[in-house]
Structure 1
Amino acid sequence: MVAPYSLDLRRKVVQACKRQGQSQRAVAEFFGVSLSFVEGLLRRVRRSGELVPLRRRPGPHAKVDEESCQRLERWLAKTSPT
């Protein structure tokens, strides 16, 4: 899972967007982030005033249990050419 952007970067993005003459697209390109990140960040700041990222949501549970994973690794080790 990808780590959220730092608070420092978030603060700089918001400050850059508030400057006159800076489009959101130009700010996104300058900082190397996506336009949707900039749009979402500005929306979040307008609504709640917060820069902190949302809590991470857990992903789906693994479909392969530990025992099956070990069996698969053993099978791959046997069948893979060296």
Structure 2
Amino acid sequence: MTAPYSYDLRQKVINAIELDGIPKTEASQVFHVSRNTINLWLQRKEHTGDFLPKPNRPPGHSH
């Protein structure tokens, strides 16, 4: 499983879109993050108030 994007990168991308007014498409090219990922971060911020990554739990069940 890949590691989630750093909080710092997420913050830079979201600030570029919300504060600087950069379009999502341009931000995705500048920061090398997919448009879908940016949309997910924005949705998470809208629902939870922040764009922290989800907790990384390995598959399986707890013992």
Using the TM superposition, give the Cα deviation of residue 31 of structure 1 relative to its aligned residue in structure 2, in angstroms: 0.1
Residue 14 of structure 2 aligns with an amino acid whose one-letter code is V
Which 4+ residue blocks in structure 1 deviate beyond 3 angstroms? Answer: none
Task: Report what 1:58 is aligned to.
Answer: 58
Give the greater-gyration-radius structure (CA).
1
Using the TM superposition, give the Cα deviation of residue 57 of structure 1 relative to its aligned residue in structure 2, in angstroms: 3.9
Greater relative contact order, per chain length (Cα 8 Å cut-off, separation 6+): 2
Using the TM superposition, give the Cα deviation of residue 55 of structure 1 relative to its aligned residue in structure 2, in angstroms: 1.3
Using the TM superposition, give the Cα deviation of residue 59 of structure 1 relative to its aligned residue in structure 2, in angstroms: 3.5
Residue 27 of structure 1 aligns with an amino acid whose one-letter code is A
Using the TM superposition, give the Cα deviation of residue 43 of structure 1 relative to its aligned residue in structure 2, in angstroms: 0.8
- Number of residue-to-residue matches in the alignment: 59
Structure 2: unaligned runs, 5 residues or longer: none
**Quick check: 1:29 aligned with 2:23?**
no
Structure 1: unaligned runs, 5 residues or longer: 61-82
Task: Report what 1:8 is aligned to.
Answer: 8
SS at match of 1:55: coil
Higher helix share: 1
Q: Percent of counterpart pairs with the same letter?
A: 34
Q: TM-score, normalised by structure 2?
A: 0.82
